[in-house]
């Protein structure tokens, strides 16, 4: 039986989806997170650095609520609206994933919800 994961330490879903789903087999699928401040639901102030930090903090909160850690993340997908921001995103990302880094995809997209600059989803396993 799959378990729905929800925490107030990350923004609530803004559509018909769950923050994350944990499978009976130990896989954790975390929905894409955008840089919303959990307490207000507003987009974090600042540029790509502030947005990337907020996204990763949101992901960490959900992963932690499920009983996992960022060290359990095996795959990420990073969506950015400007590949020119890749270096800045990568620098901040590297502060969260320091050893045994997960596999990753990074793609430029034309637009993200609420006109944010970055969205990231993760898959974790225990």
Return the active site residues. 106
Backbone angles phi, psi at 73, to 5 degrees: -70, 130
**Neighbour count for residue 71 (Cβ, 10 Å):** 13
- Contact (CB, 8 A) for 35 and 43: yes
CA distances from 92 to 10, 12, 71 (A): 19, 23, 16
């Amino acid at each position: 039986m799959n378990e729905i994961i929800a925490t107030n330490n990350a923004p609530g879903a803004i559509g018909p989806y769950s923050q994350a789903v944990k499978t009976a087999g130990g896989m954790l699928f975390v929905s894409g997170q955008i840089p919303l401040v959990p307490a207000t639901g507003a987009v974090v102030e600042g540029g790509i650095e502030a947005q990337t930090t907020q996204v990763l903090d949101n992901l960490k909160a959900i992963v932690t609520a499920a009983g996992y850690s960022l060290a359990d993340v095996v795959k990420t997908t990073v969506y950015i609206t400007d590949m020119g921001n890749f270096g800045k995103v990568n620098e901040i990302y590297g502060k969260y994933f320091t050893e045994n880094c997960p596999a990753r995809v990074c793609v430029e997209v034309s637009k993200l919800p609420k006109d944010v600059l970055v969205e990231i989803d993760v898959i974790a396993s225990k």
